[in-house]
């Protein structure tokens, strides 16, 4: 499989980009990697890159976007931060990726048993991590069940995963609210902004 070129990127639609990722995740689940020569792709992309998607995911070592979507060099922009939330710098990176570099799709990818989300559920406080956890706690407040406080912590993995899913949705809302560029591009059908959850037990990505 060749690296993407200006020509192949130009033929890509947001819907086609999404389908590419879905097909890649199917290959990953079935342990059937696409046939690609990575060293050849190094050479192919040495003069420029033409990725088709931008993926915001967690730093979790089990959730590498390139691997779980079976993508090669030059295929995707990968943004990683614990808890997959957005700030000004990440929004700027997304705007560059979409408006200037031509990607057609933004995916906010959460995952099950997320350590950062567990920290938010437990309202953890530790050094610089405190500020990060504060950005994830609105998702905890948005999940109303269970009401029993003794069950609203990291030991309740069902609650943790519900918060992770809510965090993805809140992140998408933040992208649309805080980036006029990306909101307008989505409105004009130049890009799609979608959410997804990766199951660390199965390797499956469930798109919203």
pLDDT at site 33: 87
In order of 71, 73, 81, the CA distances from 44 in angstroms are 15, 9, 28
Q: Give per-residue pLDDT as tens, 54-96.
A: 999 999 999 999 999 999 888 999 999 999 999 999 999 999 9
Domain ranges of the chain: 6-207
The verdict on pTM exceeding 0.85 is yes
Was 111 annotated as part of a binding site? yes
Cα dihedral 180, 183, 186, 187, rounded to 10, equals -90
Fold of 6-207: Beta-carbonic Anhydrase; Chain A (3.40.1050)
Compute the distance between CA of residue 87 and CA of residue 85 in angstroms, rounded to an integer.
Answer: 7
Does the annotation list 60 as a binding residue?
yes
Q: What is the DSSP string of 87-141?
A: -HHHHHHHHIIIIIS---EEEEEEETT-HHHHHHHTT---TTHHHHHHHHHHHHH
* Residue 203 Cα to chain centre, angstroms: 15
Q: How confident is the model at residue 126 (pLDDT cuts 50, 70, 90)?
A: very high
What average pLDDT does range 164-190 have in this prediction? 98
């Amino acid at each position: 499989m060749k690296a993407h070129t200006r020509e192949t990127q130009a033929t890509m639609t947001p819907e086609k980009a999404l389908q590419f990722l879905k097909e890649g995740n199917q290959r990953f689940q079935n342990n059937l990697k696409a046939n690609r020569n990575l060293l050849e792709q190094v050479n192919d992309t040495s003069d420029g890159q033409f990725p088709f998607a931008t993926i915001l995911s967690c730093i979790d070592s089990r959730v590498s976007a390139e691997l779980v979507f079976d993508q090669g060099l030059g295929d995707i922009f990968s943004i990683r931060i614990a808890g997959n939330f957005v700030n000004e710098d990440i929004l700027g990176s997304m705007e560059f990726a979409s408006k200037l570099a031509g990607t057609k799709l933004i995916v906010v990818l959460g995952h099950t048993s997320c350590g950062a989300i567990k920290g938010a559920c437990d309202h953890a406080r530790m050094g610089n991590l405190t500020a990060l956890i504060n950005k994830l706690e609105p998702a905890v407040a948005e999940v109303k069940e269970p009401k029993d406080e003794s069950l609203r912590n990291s030991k309740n993995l069902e609650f943790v995963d519900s918060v992770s899913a809510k965090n993805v949705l809140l992140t998408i809302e933040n992208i649309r609210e805080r980036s006029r560029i990306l909101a307008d591009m989505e409105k004009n059908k130049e890009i799609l902004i979608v959410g997804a959850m990766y199951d660390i037990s199965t390797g499956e990505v469930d798109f919203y």
